[in-house]
């Protein structure tokens, strides 16, 4: 379990404003960024940031054409246009945050070693007993020494499980991953 610290004073916590979906307000405060310390031979702050992909899906993944999607279901973050996803939102609220806090004890898979992309998962979620996957990257902060940025890129139910490549991919330990990111090294396959 992570031991949280006060958010670094030179950064502002990143938080999403609430959004409305079909008349219901979605409180996104559970996706507010947070920080913790980790010992890697030296004390390092790790800042966790979430993306809107944790509660939205791509327009190309929606069964409707873009013109058929009600405007109140469209989410714009200034970089991309996505669609609010009630299932992703619900799972982000119920599973994502606790799972991120348990990352030190989770099995971490090298999802794509060339892009430093990793995943972890929670098995047996919901009535259908599906797998909930979190995709993230970790990199050294370019602006501040002794800081890593852990960016949760996306989190969603895998409809068909892990790909064969992901099933066979290398696993990496939490401290090994953070130390390699801090030192600017790739995780070797």
Residue 189 domain flag: no
Which of 35, 93, 85 is closest to 62 using CA atoms?
85
In this predicted structure, what is the pLDDT of residue 152? Answer: 96
Residue 29 domain flag: yes
In this predicted structure, what is the pLDDT of residue 122? Answer: 77
In this predicted structure, what is the pLDDT of residue 1? Answer: 60
In this predicted structure, what is the pLDDT of residue 7? Answer: 62
What are the Cα distances from residue 17, in Å, to 30, 52, 53, 71, 92? Answer: 11, 11, 15, 17, 15
In this predicted structure, what is the pLDDT of residue 174? Answer: 93
Task: Specify the pTM.
Answer: 0.89
Residue 160 domain flag: yes
Q: In what order do the strands lie in the sheet with 4-5?
A: 4-5, 34-39, 43-50, 147-158, 130-140, 117-125, 108-112, 171-172
In this predicted structure, what is the pLDDT of residue 155? Answer: 94
In this predicted structure, what is the pLDDT of residue 67? Answer: 92
In this predicted structure, what is the pLDDT of residue 2? Answer: 67
Four-residue CA torsion sign, 33, 140, 12, 86: negative
Domain that holds residue 109: 4-183
Residue 91 domain flag: yes
In this predicted structure, what is the pLDDT of residue 8? Answer: 64
Residues of the chain with pLDDT under 50: none
**How many distinct structural domains can be found in the chain?**
1
Chain segment 71-99, per-residue pLDDT in tens: 999 999 889 999 999 999 999 999 998 89
């Amino acid at each position: 379990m992570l031991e949280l610290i006060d958010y670094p004073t030179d950064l502002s916590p990143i938080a999403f404003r609430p959004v409305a979906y079909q008349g219901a307000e979605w409180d996104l405060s559970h996706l507010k960024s947070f920080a913790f310390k980790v010992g890697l031979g030296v004390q390092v702050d790790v800042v966790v940031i979430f993306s809107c992909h944790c509660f939205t899906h791509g327009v190309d993944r929606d069964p409707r054409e873009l013109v058929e999607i009600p405007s109140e279901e469209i989410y714009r973050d200034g970089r991309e246009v996505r669609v609010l996803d009630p299932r992703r939102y619900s799972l982000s609220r119920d599973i994502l945050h606790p799972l991120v806090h348990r990352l030190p004890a989770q099995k971490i898979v090298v999802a794509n070693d060339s892009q430093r992309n990793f995943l972890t998962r929670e098995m047996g979620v919901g009535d259908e007993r599906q797998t909930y996957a979190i995709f993230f990257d970790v990199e050294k902060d370019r602006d501040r020494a002794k800081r890593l940025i852990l960016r949760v890129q996306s989190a969603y139910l895998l409809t068909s499980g892990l790909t064969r490549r992901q099933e066979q991919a290398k696993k990496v330990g939490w401290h090994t991953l953070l130390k390699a990111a801090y030192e600017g090294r790739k995780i070797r396959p």
